[in-house]
Amino acid sequence: MSHLDIDNIPSTPGKYKPDKSFRFNSSTVFSLSKLTIYFPLFLCFLLILLLLSTPSSTPSPRRHLSSGTHRSPISLPHKLIHKSARPRLTTGHTVLVTGAAGFVGTHVSLALKRRGDGVLGLDNFNHYYDPALKRARQKLLEKAGVYIVDADINDKDLLQQLFDAVLFTHVMHLAAQAGVRYAMQNPGSYIHSNIAGFVNLLEVAKSTNPQPAIIWASSSSVYGLNSKVPFSEKDRTDQPASLYAATKKASEEIAHTYNHIYGLSITGLRFFTVYGPWGRPDMAYFFFTRDILKGKTIAIYESPDKGSVARDFTYIDDIVKGCLGALDTAKKSTGSGGKKKGPAQLRIFNLGNTSPVPVSKLVSLLEKNLKVKAKKKVMPLPRNGDVEFTHANISLAARELGYKPTTDLEAGLKKFVRWYLGFYLGSKKSS
């Protein structure tokens, strides 16, 4: 198979003249006088400009729906919001999905809508990766009847107005700044989204009457430098290997706090290397596919002892089943209007595939599906937050959620490659 061209993939003076010494002295006094009067004003002006021009840490030039400084009404498309959030069945849930235009958010929103739940999406369409892919997902959701509000979870006034407009039974919180390596370039974005954004959401949710149940995406990265395998929910998570992992671990502790003080029902889900159609371009399986097709050399990392780097790759459909299982088994929050009335449910689950696969095997499967030989370069694993392996123990999720992954990496990659060729190259093989 020849290399395919996908380069397009995914700014009148008076006659009187005073002597020089007079001109100098008078001008000096006048200048000092002006300086005394105007310098403080100039400093104030600069300070105002600085405050007004301070950029948001959100990496997206999106449209702001609210100033975030006061509770003034904003123009929301209430008809679209209510239509999207209305369940088809009287027994259906009403779910707010944050990060709805993201990889997992799109699939979860579609699954909820298909089975009859009401779904309202929220996403800020940031530029961490190509927002065109997120907009394509948005169109997919619109066809299914899911409306996405273009806004940030840090906009508390906007969130409050959404909660005032819709009585959500559940919140599926999937919005986050993803990626391990990007934290070394833009650490502030992880604090802004993963911690401040989560707290903002919990603040609004805990004051609602009745409170919704919260299901949110943690990460397998919280296991960090843990060497005990497979990773169990009871294992230590106090040695994060990246800032991303640290923010997810911090969020788990924050969830415990809001559960304990305010009675919010909260379920955290530790995802293990999710892959599949409509995936994230920053993930290895995705950019390996792109670079193999372009004839570029790909880097395959090995551990310091020359061992294989392996991941517990989990297909998106299996992750969605776990998310829905967590939502369906979530008990009601016990608080009301910010006050706890009794003990509330607090859970954490691993959602993985239980079968770690070496990255070298991943590349071999991609070569097979693409019918292209990869140009490979083996390199030592850099100290950028990546860990050598992940391996999920899912016995708790199996018992409590009925979670049972059914797609192995070979079958899942076949589906991903079919989608990729169709989406980026217009292949007739696209599903």
- 292 contact partners, CB below 8 Å, separation of at least 6: 298, 366, 367, 370, 372, 374, 375
34 to each of 20, 27, 28, 407, how far by Cα in Å?
21, 10, 10, 76
Catalytic residue among 129, 244, 275, 285: 244
Q: Judge contact between 350 and 395, C-beta under 8 A.
A: no
Among residues 77, 138, 131, which one has the least CA distance to residue 106? Answer: 138
Cβ proximity of 172 and 324 under 8 Å: no
Amino acid identity for residue 257 in this structure: T
Packing angle of the helix pair 284-294, 409-425 (nearest 10 deg): 60
Per the listing, tokens 């800020």 go with 124
* Residue 267 · residue 324 · CB < 8 Å: no
Q: What whole-number distance in Å separates Cα of residue 173 and Cα of residue 188?
A: 20
Cis ω for the linkage preceding 304 (within 30 of 0): no
Instruction: Report the C-alpha gap between 313 and 353 in whole angstroms.
Output: 6
Name the amino acid, one letter, at 402: G
Q: Are 207 and 258 in contact (CB under 8 A)?
A: no
Measured in Å, how far apart are the chain's first and last C-alpha atoms?
21
Number of Cβ within 10 Å of residue 195's Cβ equals: 18
Residue 198 backbone class (left: φ over 0; alpha: ψ -120 to 50; beta: rest): alpha
| Active-site residue flag, 244 | yes
Q: What is the set of active-site residues? A: 244
